[in-house]
Amino acid sequence: MQASPALVSSDDLYLFNTGQLFRAYRTFGAHPFENEGQSGIRFVLWAPHAREVTVIGDFNGWNGEHRQVVMTQIGTTGIWAGFAPGLSVGIRYKYEILGADGTRQLKSDPFGFQSELRPNTASIVTSLDEYDWHDREWIEQRKQHPPYEKPMLIYEVHLASWRMDAPEHFRDYEQLAHELVDYVCSMGYTHIEVLPLTEHPLDRSWGYQATGYFAATSRYGPAKGLQILVDRCHQRGIGVLLDWVCGHFCKDDHGLRLFDGAPLYENSDYRRAEKPLWGTLAFDFGKPQVLSFLLSNALFWLDVYHIDGLRVDAVASMIDMNFDKPDSMRVVNRFGGTEDIEALHFLRKLNETVFHYYPDSLMMAEDSSSYPAVTSPTYLGGLGFNYKWNMGWMNDMLRYMETDPSQRSSHHSLITFSLHYAFSENYVLPLSHDEVVHGKRSMLNKMPGNYNEKFSNLRLFYGYWMTHPGKKLLFMGGEFGQFDEWKDYAGLDWSLLQYPLHDSMRRYVGDLNRMYLDNGALWERDHEQGGFEWIDVNNSSQCMLSFQRNGKTSENPIVTVCNFSRDTHSIYRIGVPQPGNYRQIMNSDKSDYGGSGTEMPSFVSAQEIPLHGKPFSIEVPVPALSIQLWQSEIS
């Protein structure tokens, strides 16, 4: 075993310890290495409080006294390095650390690229630079077309439970590269968003409590399989987003907690470190080395796996130091406020770093707070994300849709209030996994009424969601009306597709998706006030709404009519902006979708009868609990 400062450059030492080593994964961890003519593995670790660090593994029978790899601290940098000649890719290993408190513990490698399948916890030396990518065309076209003026339909997926043959019998990455990608393409989605894939010890944490930030979870096979999955997505024109958890980590002994016998990745003040709501620990964003670790991890997924962007989890819990904490744990910042100044600095630095290297990437904040300018540039004082989940819209709409139609007239503002702020940020409208677990019921089962009315309400809801300004995200199972809430330990209830209304719901969602993709008026101006105009916003007594969506030109606007009541209107007049014919491009009440099949004209002609502030108007039948879209034929 050899160790010397030459194993790590002085530049890397400096940059890591000042929070500026943005690709620290190339230096830290276990890597094949040539040293003085010998091939072996170089180990590099940050453990400033450790008294001694050795590497043990299957190469020495997990015996720290036999052929152990003793690492040496490089000066007073807190960084340990060692070179073991003769070792190669594939070995399993852990760090044995004599900590500041005098105890010895075995730790997985914080920079390890692969882990054993749980419940085993060793790291595995892995090379990730050998995969031959075939997605150059996707990467190039992504650079040419910014996302703001493009359609975005995100299918949110938990890989374990999308399809499962038996408990804990998961599809592997390569199987999913065919089955999942084919399905997503057939449904018309533009992106897949995957729940966290960082290695985690407990299946039922869904990946939100991680131990291996640089290791794609081994539940679905070797790391190369994930590269194959992403590559095939790109070859089929599908972007891939990763749910990324940088706000907290789990407390398992082999992970980051008290890594070298003292608080290291976490804050030494337990009030700052503890996340009592989740039983986890917050990262200490005040340490520059933690910044190097996290910023490198963000770039790692984009560099090594060609991920198209990150959905940053639990932003509200990061920026508020007292988020869901009891009074006994409350703290204030140096100005007397409760904002976490260090976390805010980290988020800005995160987005600046990612967009410096990948200006065409997607950085989405899952933020339930009212913190301003989340999607504004950092040079204007914003956090620098390019998208934010619109949690307010989601909560208001679900509350409204869960209300019985007979009571909706007194809650009309719930479906209209979002347009007061819809253009203050760049929004994604999420119907995510969080809304269909823990007793919240599935999307279908949230809907009031009898069996048929539940489906009518859900089709109406999805139609309004699709026509409201903002990009779209739907959790798996919602597209065919999963009746039970999501069960993370079992596969989706695909057998429901043998029943006509569930099969019709999937057909409706697929057609709705394709209609959305085909009509730029529904997405070209998502983030501009001029992309949306109310026609009639005030008809609360009949639970009716009508509005128009406008594309880049004033031609061919789309007029949308929503009926949130049980009343059918054989003739209903609404104002329209232009003369000529209007063609129906979507009707949720079609019999093909499980609706009543009320006879509807394919075209209606505008009459020069002013209404709703518009110079023309049309008359259309409006079935109960339905949405229909009409597009001007003027060209």
Question: 561 pairs with which residues across the strands?
Answer: 546, 628
Amino acid 460: pLDDT: 98
592: exposed, middle or buried (Cβ count in 10 Å: 0-12, 13-18, 19+):
exposed
**Does 540 score more than 80 pLDDT?**
yes
Q: DSSP per residue over 439-507, as a string?
A: TS--HHHHS-SSHHHHHHHHHHHHHHHHHSSSEEEEETTGGGT--SPP-TTS---GGGGGSHHHHHHHH
How big is the chain by its Cα radius of gyration, in Å? 27
Q: What is the amino acid identity at position 331?
A: V
Range of 302's domain? 151-493
Is 227 contained in some domain? Answer: yes
Report how far apart, in Å, the C-alpha atoms of 311 and of each of 242, 246, 424, 436, 585 are.
Answer: 6, 10, 19, 19, 32
Amino acid 557: pLDDT: 95
d(CA 554, CA 340): 45
Nearest to 567 by CA among 619, 618, 621: 621
Does residue 261 share a domain with residue 213?
yes
Contact 465, 390 (CB under 8 A): no
Is 343 contained in some domain? Answer: yes
Is 608 contained in some domain? Answer: yes
Is 515 contained in some domain? Answer: no
**CA angle (520, 525, 528) in 5-degree steps:** 165
CATH number for the domain spanning 90: value is 2.60.40.10
Is 501 contained in some domain? Answer: no
What ranges make up the beta strands (E) of 271-371? 274-275, 280-282, 309-312, 362-365
Contact 234, 132 (CB under 8 A): no
Nearest to 601 by CA among 621, 572, 617: 621
Does residue 317 share a domain with residue 239?
yes
Does residue 429 share a domain with residue 345?
yes
Does residue 537 share a domain with residue 471?
no
pLDDT, average across residues 386-403: 97
**Does 2 score more than 50 pLDDT?**
no
CATH number for the domain spanning 165: value is 3.20.20.80
Amino acid 432: pLDDT: 97
CATH number for the domain spanning 617: value is 2.60.40.1180
**Does 216 score more than 90 pLDDT?**
yes
Q: What is the amino acid identity at position 520?
A: G
Does residue 612 share a domain with residue 480?
no
Report how far apart, in Å, the C-alpha atoms of 355 and of each of 80, 309, 350, 385, 477 are.
Answer: 31, 10, 9, 9, 33
Active site residue 366: yes
Give the total number of structural domains in the chain.
3
Does residue 484 share a domain with residue 368?
yes
> What tokens does 340 get?
């976490």
136-144 helix and 223-235 helix, angle to the nearest 10 degrees: 60
pLDDT, average across residues 268-296: 97
Query: Which among 472, 493, 514 is the end of a domain?
Result: 493
Three-class SS of residue 602? Answer: coil
Sign of CA dihedral 204, 154, 458, 178: negative
Model confidence band, residue 67 (pLDDT cutoffs 50, 70, 90): low
**Does 64 score more than 80 pLDDT?**
no
Nearest to 470 by CA among 421, 514, 523: 523
Is 432 contained in some domain? Answer: yes
**Does 574 score more than 50 pLDDT?**
yes
Q: What is the pLDDT of residues 315-357, one digit of tens each?
A: 999 999 999 999 999 999 999 999 999 999 999 999 999 999 9
Does residue 454 share a domain with residue 368?
yes
Q: Which residue has the higher pLDDT, 522 or 69?
A: 522
Active site residue 313: yes
Is 517 contained in some domain? Answer: no
**Does 364 score more than 50 pLDDT?**
yes
Which of 193, 366, 396, 485 is catalytic? The answer is: 366
Three-class SS of residue 400? Answer: helix
Which residues neighbour 295 within 8 Å (Cβ) at sequence distance 6 or greater? 19, 22, 349, 350, 353
pLDDT, average across residues 455-460: 98
Amino acid 476: pLDDT: 98
Q: Considering the chain, what is the average pLDDT of its residues?
A: 95
d(CA 424, CA 528): 9
Is 224 contained in some domain? Answer: yes
Model confidence band, residue 36 (pLDDT cutoffs 50, 70, 90): confident
Model confidence band, residue 60 (pLDDT cutoffs 50, 70, 90): confident
Amino acid 146: pLDDT: 84
d(CA 426, CA 587): 28
Does residue 488 share a domain with residue 360?
yes
Amino acid 3: pLDDT: 47
Does residue 305 share a domain with residue 249?
yes
Does residue 158 share a domain with residue 115?
no
Nearest to 357 by CA among 287, 311, 296: 296
Q: 212-216 and 198-199: which strand pairing? A: antiparallel
What's the pTM value of the predicted model, to 2 decimals? 0.96
Query: Which among 493, 516, 538 is the end of a domain?
Result: 493
Q: What is the amino acid identity at position 366?
A: E
Q: What is the amino acid identity at position 134?
A: H
Q: What is the pLDDT of residues 366-393, one digit of tens each?
A: 999 999 999 999 999 999 999 999 999 9
**Does 1 score more than 50 pLDDT?**
no
Which of 231, 274, 313, 526 is catalytic? The answer is: 313
Does residue 17 share a domain with residue 108?
yes
Does residue 238 share a domain with residue 197?
yes
Q: What is the pLDDT of residues 587-630, one digit of tens each?
A: 999 999 999 999 999 999 999 999 999 999 999 999 999 999 99
